[in-house]
């Protein structure tokens, strides 16, 4: 499977630092569910709103590794083009993003990869992985869902329809189509592919969907 993913077989250029003691980890990770405090926060209020909305699909997994997470993250680092920007670009690496001492935040380098963002946090052999819709696609999806509402508002302002209540159903159907057909189905399909790619690199031995 590693061959299919283009996993680098080269020796690590540099080992990751050893994982901090539990008490240091507790202090380091108190600001985030999955260790997001390790990464640069988005200062834009729109980013904060969209990232905290439950409108978009997400998945959370509890995982177990065969060895200490330092080894797994070292493998991931070798196969990640390290950058602060989660933007799709040409690379022979499997992922693009950030790999820290005991956490990571990456997107797949495949054509569909930017659709989902994978964030992980580890302690020893166990950890958690969260898969979310990329902020760019959250914004685009929000615009698509707002278009039917804007359309009905313009219609009401122009008084083009005698009984505007008849437009409610088409608007709701339009919003549901975007959310559960366009967004949900693509998210389910792509997140599965991306998770399989990650599994082949960090060698997940056990995984359980918890949310």
Q: What is the pLDDT of residues 102-142, one digit of tens each?
A: 999 999 999 888 999 999 999 999 999 999 999 999 999 99
Asked if the model's pLDDT at residue 156 lies above 90, the reply is no
Who has greater pLDDT, 26 or 173? 173
Q: Please give the structure tokens belonging to residue 61.
A: 């997994």
Region 44-62: mean pLDDT is 72
For residue 115, CA distances in Å to 8, 27, 194 come to 24, 32, 10
How does residue 43 score in pLDDT terms, banded at 50, 70 and 90? low
Q: What is the residue extent of each domain of the chain?
A: 22-138+177-209
SS3 80: strand
How many beta carbons lie within 10 A of that of residue 78, not counting itself?
19
Q: Is the pTM of this model over 0.85?
A: no
Q: Please give the structure tokens belonging to residue 173.
A: 């159907």
Whole-number pLDDT of residue 86:
94
Whole-number pLDDT of residue 168:
84
How does residue 158 score in pLDDT terms, banded at 50, 70 and 90? confident
What is the rounded distance in angstroms from the CA atom of residue 128 to the CA atom of residue 151? 42
């Amino acid at each position: 499977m590693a061959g299919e993913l283009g996993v680098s077989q080269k020796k690590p250029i540099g080992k990751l630092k050893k994982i901090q003691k539990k008490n240091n980890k507790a202090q380091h990770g108190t600001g985030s569910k999955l260790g997001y405090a390790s990464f640069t926060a988005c200062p834009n209020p729109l980013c904060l709103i969209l990232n905290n909305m439950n409108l978009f699909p997400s998945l959370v997994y509890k995982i177990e590794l065969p060895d200490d997470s330092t080894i797994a993250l070292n493998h991931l680092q070798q196969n990640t083009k390290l950058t602060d920007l989660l933007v799709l670009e040409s690379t022979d690496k499997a992922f693009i993003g950030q790999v820290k001492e005991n956490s990571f935040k990456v997107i797949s380098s495949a054509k569909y990869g930017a659709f989902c963002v994978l964030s992980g946090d580890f302690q020893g052999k166990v950890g958690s992985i969260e898969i979310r819709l990329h902020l760019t696609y959250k914004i685009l999806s929000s615009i698509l869902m707002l278009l039917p509402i804007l359309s009905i508002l313009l219609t009401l302002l122009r008084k083009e329809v005698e009984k505007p209540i008849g437009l409610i159903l088409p608007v709701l159907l339009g919003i549901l189509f975007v959310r559960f057909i366009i967004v949900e189905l693509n998210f389910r399909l792509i997140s599965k592919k991306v998770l399989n790619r990650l599994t082949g690199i960090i060698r997940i031995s056990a995984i359980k969907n918890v949310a």
